[in-house]
A and B are shown apart, each in its own frame.
Chain A
Amino acid sequence: MGHSDQKLAIFRGLLKFKSNVQKIWGVLIFLSIVTTIEVVLGIIKPEFLLKPFLRMKLLNWIFLILTIVKAYYIAWDFMHIRDEKSSLKNSIVLPLVFLIPYLAFIILLEADYIFDIMKDGIVSWDF
């Protein structure tokens, strides 16, 4: 089942593993490090990261990016997308990569608009 052609390198070939089992443990260590960074940042909340950037706190952007990094390694190495044919890889990843950010964009933009209306308009939600 395509076992022989498993790709054993991560970080664009920076880190090569001898066997598939070794690669799995390597990815676990990497994911644990990323999670630890997230939790530590979430507890400390460094002052300089609380500045707004593109309508969101800088810290939240960092969390979002780290989450996507984690998702990438779970999908690529645990779900073996790395070893699939590019046609399968693309038909799984591309719909999600286009649809989800699109949905998020239109819905969150609308929510932001409603927030402004309730803040500056005469409508009050709390009576």
Chain B
Amino acid sequence: MSTETVALKNIKHSDFSEHGNDAMKASYGKLMMWFFIISDALTFSGFLVSYGFARFKYIDSWPIADEVFTHFPFLHGVEAPMYYVAFMTFILIVSSVTMVLAVDAGHNMQKNKVILYMFLTIIFGAIFVGSQAWEWNTFIKGDYGALETRGGQILQFINSDTGKRAPIKDFSVKLDSDRLNHNPSVGVWYQTESSLPSFSLDEVKEGFKLNNNLLVRVQKLDSMGKKVVLNRSESLSKIQDAVGVVEGANLIHNEYGHRLFADFFFFITGFHGFHVFSGVVINIIIFFNVIIGTYEKRGHYEMVEKVGLYWHFVDLVWVFVFTFFYLV
């Protein structure tokens, strides 16, 4: 064996200086993970700041998060603002703890403990992703329904007797109408139609006129940060501006208020959810590597530490997403 190969063998994989000293006392892999985390942190700040831009631009008409996210699984009809996201936040923090415990067990070369804690981290991560899917599902389905004006304003309904929101399905009347389907045999071109809302615009308008206790609530906020409710005559003239019924939220229409709110919600929580999902996948890979003893043979559990850094970063981002979407 030549001296050259011997010298190469003595160099640890993590070294990147000639003298075997790691830059800033951190291995190559860890530094690269930090590089990634910093750039990803700036990406997320870009997204959150642009959300802030939209919000400050429409500061007097932005949806109130407490009224949007009021559901908790298995509790139907119970107003539970924020409890579910609080639960999600807690799940993610706990998964961070099990991750850091896995890292710590790795330092002490306790393979079985690493396996246990990695497993718990994966489970908590999966619970979080599942919760987010549930949250999206509830958000997309919507609950009260609303009308939308030509300018994109959302008109919601209030029962003046109780002061609570009135779902459109409770007051809309059934009107007989024929739906004319446009088909290619009559025209040269035709547009495909999206699915119809459960009630037509006329049905909602008619139902509104028949119920004298109904009022329209607009997007504008008063000085106390509450949505402005119009009086009956203003309401009656306002619903004449409506051009469509909105149920739930998607990228174009949003029954909760400003459409940008839904866009940013889908984009930012979706991007974060994608990070969590990939984190779970990476965790699973490392988990199996730990089981088959890859790191035991390697002599150190630095891979667990690196994936841990990523996992904590995802938790860190959620802390900010939680604040800006649900609290502020």
- By the criterion CB–CB under 8 Å, are B38 and A92 in contact? yes
- By the criterion CB–CB under 8 Å, are A104 and B90 in contact? no
Interface size class of B (residues with CB under 8 A): 35 or more
- By the criterion CB–CB under 8 Å, are B45 and A25 in contact? no
19 further A-B pairs in the complex, CB-CB below 8 A; given A103-B49, A111-B56, A119-B60: A1-B305, A32-B90, A32-B93, A39-B86, A63-B327, A64-B328, A67-B319, A74-B96, A78-B99, A78-B308, A79-B313, A92-B38, A96-B42, A104-B52, A107-B52, A108-B53, A115-B60, A126-B149, A126-B151
**Main secondary structure on B side of the interface with A:** helix
- By the criterion CB–CB under 8 Å, are A25 and B97 in contact? yes
Interface size class of A (residues with CB under 8 A): 35 or more
Task: Knowing A28-B97, A74-B315, say if A87 contacts B24 (CB, 8 Å).
Answer: yes
Task: Of the listed stretches B100-108, B132-140, B166-174, B193-201, name the one at the interface; the rest are far from the partner chain.
Answer: B100-108
Query: Nearest-CB distance from B155 to chain A (Å)?
Result: 12
A125 lies within 8 A of chain B by Cβ: yes
Q: Count how many pairs of residues, one from A and one from B, have CB atoms less than 8 Å apart in the complex.
A: 145
Chain B residues near A24: list those with CB within 8 A: 97, 100-101, 104
Query: Nearest-CB distance from B159 to chain A (Å)?
Result: 23
Chain A residues near B45: list those with CB within 8 A: 96, 99-100, 103-104
B81 lies within 8 A of chain A by Cβ: yes
Q: What are the 7 A-B residue pairs with the smallest beta carbon separation, nearest first? A: A111-B56, A126-B151, A88-B24, A67-B323, A111-B53, A39-B86, A78-B312
